[in-house]
A = this chain, B = another copy of it.
């Protein structure tokens, strides 16, 4: 494929991630995406060959965006507490930022596909699993007594804030999450059970 073709494909996928974050991966229709890109349906379709390939490529693009915005910057900090702090802060910032329209991508698509076996669900599952594994590993490195429990709570509190923010527009949702998470991080540092 030509470089121009690849650039077009990347541009399509950027738009697809934002659209799927709002409308879901089924609501992401080829006709609508083509209209927004100002190209023909078939022109866009030929970049992927099937709806499912578009969905898989969109999941992949969303994962790359998440790694770029959250994971990679946190990995620049030393392992243990500084990195865990950075992961939590960057994750909450990522969810909170209006600029980043993909904030709800994982929450939205995970709920949409959790009952639909197939390659798309597997891709979503793998991406979420990798994130939870990273959170667990850094919780362990930071000295949390039960890293898996700790990672579960961090993830649940952040996603809980995200849903409240999206559904009610309550900006205090992230205050609630930050308060809860700060308390657990402090307890982990002091050796208490969080």
Interface residues of A (CB under 8 A from B): 21-24, 26-27, 104, 107-108, 110-112, 114-115, 121, 124-125, 128-129, 148-149, 152-153, 155-157, 159-161, 163-164, 166-168, 173, 176-177, 179-180, 183, 193
Contact = CB atoms under 8 A, between A and B. Distances in A.
A114 B104 contact: yes
Contact of A168 (B129, B155, B168, B180): B129
A163 B22 contact: no
11 contacts: A21-B115, A24-B24, A104-B115, A110-B166, A111-B166, A112-B112, A114-B166, A124-B167, A125-B168, A152-B160, A156-B180
Given A22-B115, A156-B177, A183-B193, 18 more contacts: A107-B163, A108-B111, A108-B112, A111-B111, A111-B166, A114-B167, A125-B167, A125-B168, A148-B176, A149-B180, A152-B161, A152-B164, A152-B177, A153-B157, A153-B160, A159-B159, A159-B160, A159-B163
Q: Is the interface of A mostly helix, strand, loop or mixed?
A: helix
Please provide the 10 A-B residue pairs with the shortest distance between their CB atoms, ordered closest to farther.
A156-B160, A114-B166, A22-B115, A152-B176, A108-B111, A111-B111, A114-B167, A156-B156, A156-B157, A110-B167
A21 B116 CA distance: 12
Copies of the chain in the assembly: 2
Given A104-B114, A108-B112, A111-B163, A153 B180 contact: yes
B166 A155 contact: no
A125 B166 CA distance: 10
A107 B115 contact: no
A129 B115 CA distance: 26
Contacts of A21: 115
A33 B69 CA distance: 41
Contacts of A179: 149
